[in-house]
Structure 1
Amino acid sequence: MSVVLSELHYLPSIPFFQQLLHADALLLDAHEHYHKQTYRNRCLVLTAQGPQPLTVPVLDGSRSEKIRTSEIEIDYRQNWPHRHFRTLQTAYNGSPYFGYYADYLLDIYAQKPARLWDMNLALLHLLLRCLRWPLPVAFTTEYLSPTSSTVHALTPPPLDLRDVLTPKSTPRAAEPDSTSQRPYPQVFGPAFVPRLSVLDLLFMQGPAAGRWLG
Structure 2
Amino acid sequence: MSDILFETQYHPPIAFFAEFVRADALWLEAHDHYRKQTYRNRCLILTAQGVKPLSVPVLDGNRSEKVLSSLIEIDYRQNWRHQHLHTLQTAYGGSPYFEYYADYLHDIYQQKPARLFDLNLALLHFYCRCLRLRLPIHLTTEYQPATAELAEPHDSAVSPHDLRDTLSPKHPTLPARPDRASVTVYGQHFGKDFAPGLSILDLLFMQGPAAGSFLA
TM-score, normalised by the number of residues in structure 2: 0.91
* Cα distance change of structure 1 residues 70 and 176 upon mapping to structure 2, 3 Å threshold: closer
1:1-214 to 2 correspondences below 5 Å: 2-147=2-147, 149-151=148-150, 155-169=157-171, 180-214=182-216
Per-residue deviation at 1:11?
0.3
2:149/2:160 contact within 8 Å kept? no
Per-residue deviation at 1:121?
0.2
> For 1:150 and 1:190, how far apart are their aligned partners in 2?
44
> For 1:159 and 1:180, how far apart are their aligned partners in 2?
16
> For 1:23 and 1:135, how far apart are their aligned partners in 2?
8
Cα deviation 1:25-57 (Å, max 9, x = unaligned) = 100011111111100000000000000000000
Q: Which one-letter code corresponds to 2:83 in the other structure?
A: R
Per-residue deviation at 1:191?
1.5
> For 1:188 and 1:69, how far apart are their aligned partners in 2?
34
Q: Which one-letter code corresponds to 2:202 in the other structure?
A: D
Per-residue deviation at 1:190?
1.9
The more displaced of 93-102 and 179-188 is 179-188
> For 2:39 and 2:170, how far apart are their aligned partners in 1?
10
Gaps of 5+ in 1: none
* Cα distance change of structure 1 residues 77 and 52 upon mapping to structure 2, 3 Å threshold: same
Per-residue deviation at 1:7?
0.4
* Cα distance change of structure 1 residues 117 and 51 upon mapping to structure 2, 3 Å threshold: same
Gaps of 5+ in 2: none
Per-residue deviation at 1:209?
0.2
Cα deviation 1:155-196 (Å, max 9, x = unaligned) = 22111110101111366xxx986x943111111122111110
C-alpha RMSD over aligned residues = 1.9
SS of residue in 1 equivalent to 2:157? coil
Q: Which one-letter code corresponds to 1:71 in the other structure?
A: L
> For 1:176 and 1:150, how far apart are their aligned partners in 2?
26
1:152/1:158 contact within 8 Å kept? no
> For 2:151 and 2:127, how far apart are their aligned partners in 1?
29
Q: Which one-letter code corresponds to 2:213 in the other structure?
A: R
Count of residues in Structure 1 that have an aligned counterpart in Structure 2: 209
The percentage of counterpart residues that share the same residue type is 63
* Cα distance change of structure 1 residues 152 and 164 upon mapping to structure 2, 3 Å threshold: farther
Q: Which one-letter code corresponds to 1:98 in the other structure?
A: F
